[in-house]
Chain A
Amino acid sequence: MIGNLQILIDAPALSLQLLIDGILVGAVFALAAYGLALVWGVTNVINVAQGEFVMLGGFITVFCADQGLPPLIAVPIAATALYVLGWVLFQLVIVHLVGRDMFNSVLATFGIAIVMQQLMAHVFGGADRIVESGLGSWFFLDGLIGIAKVKVVVFAACIALGMTLALFLARSRAGQAIRATAQEPRAASVLGIETRRVYALTFALNAAICGAAGALAAMAYTIHAYGGLAYTIRSFMIVVVAGLGNLAGVVWAALGLGVAENFAGFILGAQYQIAFVFGLLVAVLVFRNWRLKRKRLTLR
Chain B
Amino acid sequence: MPDALALTPTRLILIAAFLLCGVVAPLAAPAYQTQLTELLLFIVFALAWDLVGGQMGYNSFGNVLFVGVGMYVCAIVQVGLFYNVGLYTEARGGGTEFIFDESQFLIGLAVGLPGAALVSALIAWLLGSLVLTMRGHYFAICTLGLGIAAGQVAAGIPWIGAGSGMLTPNPPDSLGDVGLLLYYLSLGLAVTCALTFAWLLSTRFGLALNAIRDDEDKAEAMGLNTHAAKVTAWVIAAAFLGVAGALYGNLVRFIDPINTAFAGATIGVWMILMALLGGRGTLLGPIVGAIVFQVTKELFWTYMLGWQRVALGVLIVLVAVFFPYGIVGFFRDRFKDKGRPAEEAP
Chain A residues in the interface with B (C-beta under 8 A): 46, 48, 93, 96-97, 100-104, 106-108, 110-115, 117-119, 122, 226, 229, 233, 236, 240, 269, 271-272, 274-275, 278-279, 281-282, 285-286, 288-289, 293
Contact = CB atoms under 8 A, between A and B. Distances in A.
A46 B138 CA distance: 10
B317 A111 contact: yes
Interface string B264-277: 11000100110010
Nearest to A100: B344
6 contacts: A46-B137, A97-B321, A107-B272, A108-B320, A114-B269, A119-B310
Given A96-B322, A103-B59, A112 B149 contact: no
- Name the residue in A101, A111, A233, A288 with the highest tally of chain B Cβ atoms < 10 Å from its Cβ: A111
Interface of B: 59, 61, 130-131, 133-134, 136-138, 140-142, 144-146, 148-149, 152-153, 155-156, 163, 264-265, 269, 272-273, 276, 306-307, 309-310, 312-317, 320-322, 324, 343-345
A229 B35 CA distance: 30
A278 B144 CA distance: 9
Contacts of A112: 313, 317
Contact of A104 (B61, B312, B324): B324
B152 A107 contact: no
B344 A115 contact: no
A106 B152 contact: no
A113 B312 CA distance: 12
A49 B316 CA distance: 13
Given A107-B320, A115-B317, A274-B148, 7 more contacts: A46-B140, A106-B140, A107-B59, A118-B310, A229-B148, A229-B265, A285-B138
A114 B265 contact: yes
Contacts of B317: 93, 108, 111-112, 115
A122 B133 CA distance: 40
Given A102-B140, A278-B146, A118 B309 contact: yes
B293 to A, nearest CB: 14
A289 B142 CA distance: 11
B316 A278 contact: no
A149 B134 CA distance: 43
A106 B324 CA distance: 13
A112 B316 CA distance: 8
A274 B141 contact: no
A286 B130 contact: yes
Contacts of A289: 130, 133-134, 138
A205 B310 CA distance: 25
B326 to A, nearest CB: 12
A271 B133 contact: no
B153 A275 contact: yes
> Which 9 pairs between the two chains have the least Cβ-Cβ distance?
A111-B316, A275-B152, A278-B149, A115-B313, A114-B313, A111-B317, A108-B320, A281-B145, A107-B320
Contacts of A286: 130-131, 142
A236 B144 CA distance: 12
Nearest to A226: B265
A236 B136 CA distance: 14
Contacts of B322: 96
Contacts of B272: 107
Contacts of A240: 138
